[in-house]
Amino acid sequence: MSGLRERKKLQTRRAIADTARALFVERGFEAVRVAEIARAADVSEKTVFNYFPTKEDLVFWRLEAFEEEILGALRERAPGEPALAAFRRFVLTPRGLIDEDDPAARERLLGITRMITSSPALVAREQQVFERFTGSLARMLADETGAQPDDVEPWVAANAMMGVHRALVDLSRARVLAGATTNEIQGDLIAQGERALAALEGGLGAYAIR
């Protein structure tokens, strides 16, 4: 019964978020009120806030799982493998709508990209999320390397790696808005990601070897 309840909660969460996203894409994030989302999703406004404490969470709720994917990719790297190598493998693997090459996926990707880039609130929230990712990665690297509390090396390494990720997110959005196909975007991300990570290799290539 516990598993069934959790599945139903997840279904409700997804249904609310999908409803909100459709409204945000159609009218813009700032123009849509939570009360409208609740009516469209056939739930109470209180229910929306029970699942999503802030309006921005309706857009970025899946990033919690994405953070764990990044950290998990580094935690599970093979013995002898440096952190940067595991990060490279993760960040250069296409995922989500970028990995789907059909008109419906491209249209959804364009709508979501326009929604986020046109909203100062969403751009600001995303930066906060990335900063949290960076802090989590830095703490994990500090634990793995036995760094002292005042050592800056884990924070420098985490900021460098997450800086590549953030730059690739910006690149992908610019290419989406320019009308590039998903195949073209994937090619750009891999090529530029490889160059960016190669630039870090000299300093981080042997850092945090498992």
pLDDT by residue (tens digit) across 58-80? Answer: 999 988 788 899 999 999 999 99
- CATH number of the structural domain 62-204: 1.10.357.10
Which residues, 6+ apart, have CB-to-CB distance to 152 below 8 Å? none
Residue 2 vs residues 6, 9, 48, 50: alpha-carbon distances, Å: 6, 11, 21, 19
| Parts of the chain belonging to CATH 1.10.357.10 | 62-204
Return the structure tokens found at 63: 């990033």
Instruction: Report the topology of domain 2-53.
Output: Arc Repressor Mutant, subunit A (1.10.10)
- 36-50, 88-102, 152-166: least confidently modelled range: 88-102
pLDDT score of 63: 85
Average pLDDT, the chain: 93
CA end-to-end distance (rounded Å), the chain: 40
pLDDT bracket for residue 1 (50, 70, 90): low
Q: What angle do CA 85, 162, 113 make, to 5 degrees?
A: 120
Cα dihedral sign, 165-169-175-176: positive
HSE (CB half, 13 Å, CA atoms) of 110?
A: 13
- Please write the tens of the pLDDT for every residue from 117-147: 999 999 999 999 999 999 999 999 999 999 9
* Whether pLDDT at 190 is above 80: yes
Q: Cα–Cα distance between 23 and 35 in angstroms, integer?
A: 12
| Parts of the chain belonging to CATH 1.10.10.60 | 2-53
pLDDT score of 107: 92
pLDDT score of 94: 87
